Structure 1
Amino acid sequence: MKKGYKQLVDEASAQITTYSVAEAQAKLTDPHVQFIDIRDVRELEREGIVPGAFHAPRGMIEFWIDPDSPYFKPVFGERKEFIFFCAAGWRSALTTKTVQDMGLENVAHIDGGFSAWKAAGAPVATKPAKNESK
């Protein structure tokens, strides 16, 4: 293997903005910030969600962000800061680097992901039965 996931995550982390849970939580009610949950829907159902986060599965992120894609989601056209997170911060580090490379500006991710968020006692809600993402 030329590069394992650890090296890829380390390389991405060196080029992106990373927030601690406390720093991210301070931005939770900021109307100019959008939290983006890239976890699988089963993770949301099992672990809970960050209130107000938009769910964008990792497998679709490039297609949902690109305005030229037939799958583009308007939320990504808004002038906001986007804070990505996954379960542990690995997928979100790679995602943040990818979307930054695509030209999405003002992006960051949460160190330790949702696991760290939950462990810190930050707000968690139950995923609604029907996907009610923005």
Structure 2
Amino acid sequence: MFGFMRQSAPALPLTEAISQVASGEMILVDIRDHNELTQTGKADGALHIPLMRLSMVADPRHPDFHPDLDLTKPIGLYCASGARSAMAVNVMRKLGYENVHNLGGLSHWVAAGGCCVPK
């Protein structure tokens, strides 16, 4: 009944995503809100684009487009648990991004060996 809430393992292994972000091959985006970022910090190298602003900031036609986003590069998205980043994947695909991955939550990133910038 509530299949949209079900969490599944990311299609891209987190260790591979960590490696791609470290080498500059993948763009990492933290879509949590400002309060969450203040409380926990963020993954090292992640852009911070809250989910509520993503449809504007990720749209190359919008004046608020983030210049570090690239439709041709793989993009990894994370939130606190993976639910909002799953929604963000859909938003980005509708905007034309094809290689977009839900990486789950920040705790998944850290557990897989990803670095975190303190709050």
TM-score with structure 1 setting the length: 0.75
Q: How far apart, CA to CA, are the structure 1 residues paired with 2:46 and 2:24? A: 12
Instruction: Tell me the number of residue pairs that the alignment of Structure 1 and Structure 2 aligns.
Output: 118
Query: Residue 22 of structure 1 corresponds to which residue in structure 2?
Result: 15
Deviation at 1:52, TM superposition (A): 0.7
Gaps in structure 1 of 5+ consecutive residues: 128-134
**Deviates most, 91-100 or 75-84:** 75-84
Indicate the percent of aligned positions where both proteins have the same amino acid: 32
TM-score with structure 2 setting the length: 0.83
* Contact persistence 1:32–1:79 (CA under 8 A): no
List per-residue Cα deviations over 1:71-121 (Å, max 9, x = no partner): 21112246321111101011001111221122112211213x112223344
Paired residue type of 2:86: A
* Contact persistence 1:37–1:57 (CA under 8 A): yes
* Contact persistence 2:58–2:65 (CA under 8 A): yes
**Deviates most, 115-124 or 93-102:** 115-124
Query: Residue 74 of structure 1 corresponds to which residue in structure 2?
Result: 67
Which consecutive segments of 4 or more residues in structure 1 shift more than 6 A? none
Deviation at 1:59, TM superposition (A): 0.3
Q: How far apart, CA to CA, are the structure 2 residues paired with 1:77 and 1:125? A: 23
* Contact persistence 2:72–2:97 (CA under 8 A): no
Query: Residue 8 of structure 1 corresponds to which residue in structure 2?
Result: 4
Gaps in structure 2 of 5+ consecutive residues: none
Kindly name which structure, 1 or 2, has the bigger radius of gyration based on alpha carbons.
Answer: 1
